[in-house]
Structure 1
Amino acid sequence: MLYDLFLKPYEGYSTLFIVLEAIAAFFGIVSVWFARRNSIWVYPTGIISTALYVYILFVSGVYGDAVINIYYTAMSLYGWYVWLNVKGEGQVLPITRLHRRGALFTGGFTLANFALFYIILQYYTDSIVPTLDAITTALAFSAMYLMARKKVENWAFWIACDLISVGLYIYKGLGVTALQYLIFLILAISAHFEWVRLYREQQAAQAHPGNTSTTKPA
């Protein structure tokens, strides 16, 4: 069974393709690990992974996720800039939570992206999984934006996206990538609780300004 899942699907692929997927998966996992730690290194490592996945996913016919990775790359550049460019020397972008207006916007943004990508994938591509592809695309678009703005809720979107993606990539025959998303899922669950803890520490530090543990991202 393990052979059928992780090795047999690659019999028709070149060695270069397999190596590229392994590299992309490695840097993707490293990037999420840095994200969990609230480290700026989430972005340069993530860009390596997403740029490689653009090619891998287009070749594999998972067009929605290929578009996701183009967006990831652009949003990683944006997030890198936002995290580094905070007014005040030694200051960092704080972790915050969505308020009602932001939650409504994010919900609408997610639904609009799902509808848009479902129509595109269903009627204008040969995607074999248009519904799941559209769902993961919409969830990931919202998650990446929320991460760039350092919103705790980004992890809820990642958890949902990663859970669906594990099944999607197993079905598609990309065993290494399915394993990567399983690791992503575990890290995202852990990261949610870690960011909640950091958020509460920030709130406590704001209530008692003389006692702060906030540090500049690594």
Structure 2
Amino acid sequence: METCLRMHDIWTDILTAWQAQSMLEVVAVLAAIAYLVLAIRENIWCWLFAFISTAIYIYLFHQVSLLSESLLNVYYLLMAVYGWYQWRFGDHHHERQIISWPMKKHLALIVITAGMVPILGYLTSQLGASMPYLDAFTTCFAVLATVMVAHKVLENWYYWLIINLTSVYLFAAKSLSLTAALFALYVVLTVVGLINWNRHYDRQQRLA
């Protein structure tokens, strides 16, 4: 009986939290899930859902003073268009294939990107941003990882794994419960994406 009551309380809490979220956040979360599922499948329509989700998140993140995240989603909005073009026409006007970057290139990009984190963190802290340096970390590396997705770089999934794990904490701390849950799901889907793209990449290499 006590177990049943506890389960009832848990589901009541979940329902209450769901009802407390704005419908805009619900739409943004659903569109974001659709984006990642389609990206895992290398379906070009993922970029349409990315556009919808990011347009909503620009507003939502600004409302809770996550300024770096809000700016990041302006970038995502533009990258949704760029990503669609790259997947459709970017490889000599043929559908883009998965590629892999050498470790030396990754290390150089990581150092450069990490150097931008304290700069962005300081600038946004002066504008009243909440959790500015952690926010800047996810923002700077998401900028890099999004370029990698647009160019179908296999290793993008490793970057997203770290970004998404960090984002779960960041959004939970700002009471964006559905978005925190979304990024927890993203962690799982990121692993699925890595496995799926690895499989496709290996198949490409065998057929090359």
Q: TM-score, normalised by structure 2?
A: 0.87
Return the match for 1:95 from 98, 105, 127. Answer: 98
Partner Cα distance (2:119, 2:22) in 1? 32
2:114 is matched with which residue: 93, 103, 111?
111
- Cα deviation, 1:159-213, whole Å, max 9, x if unaligned, reads 111101111111111101111111111111110111111111100010xxxxxxx
Cα distance change on mapping 1:159 and 1:118 into 2, 3 Å: same
Indicate whether 1:65 and 2:69 are aligned: yes
**Alignment size in residue pairs:** 198
Partner of 1:55: 59
Distance 1:128 1:2, change over 3 A: farther
Bigger drift between 52-61 and 107-116 goes to: 107-116
Matches within 5 A, 1:15-94: 18-85=22-89, 86-87=91-92, 91-94=94-97
4+ residue segments displaced more than 3 Å: 1-11
Letter matched to residue 177 of structure 1: T
Coordinate RMSD, CA, aligned: 2.0
For 2:99 and 2:114, locate their aligned partners in 1 and report how far apart those are by CA, in whole Å: 23
> Residue 213 of structure 1 aligns with which residue?
none
Larger RCO (CA under 8 A, 6+ residues apart): 1
CA contact (8 A) 1:43 1:77 kept: yes
Aligned amino acid, residue 202 of structure 1? Q
Structure 2 residue runs of 5 or longer lacking an equivalent are: 1-9
> For structure 1, which runs of at least 5 residues remain unmatched after alignment?
12-16, 207-218
One-letter amino acid matched to 1:71: Y
Matches within 5 A, 1:203-214: 203-206=205-208
Q: Deviations over 1:134-164 (max 9, x none)?
A: 1111121111011011101111111111101
Match of 2:129 in 1: 127
Does 107-116 or 30-39 show the bigger shift? Answer: 107-116
CA distance 1:201–1:9, change in 2 (3 Å):
closer
Q: CA distance change for structure 1 residues 22 and 160 in 2, over 3 Å: closer, same or farther? A: same
Higher helix share: 2
1:192-211 counterparts in 2 under 5 A? 192-206=194-208
Return the alpha-carbon distance in structure 1 between the equivalents of residues 41 and 47 of structure 2. 12
C-alpha separation in 2, matches of 1:177 and 1:82: 28
Q: 2:71 is paired with a residue of what secondary structure?
A: helix
> CA separation of 1:205/1:9 partners in 2, compared to 1, >3 Å: closer, same or farther?
closer
Question: What amino acid is the match of 1:92?
Answer: E
TM-score of the superposed pair, with normalisation by structure 1:
0.84
Distance in 1, matches of 2:112 and 2:84, equals: 22
CA distance in 1: counterparts of 2:121 and 2:39, whole angstroms: 29
CA displacement 1:28-83 (0-9 Å, x = unmatched): 01000011111111101110000110001001111111111111111111111111
Indicate conservation of the 8 Å contact 2:17/2:177, yes or no: no
Once the two structures are aligned, what percentage of the paired residues are identical? 28
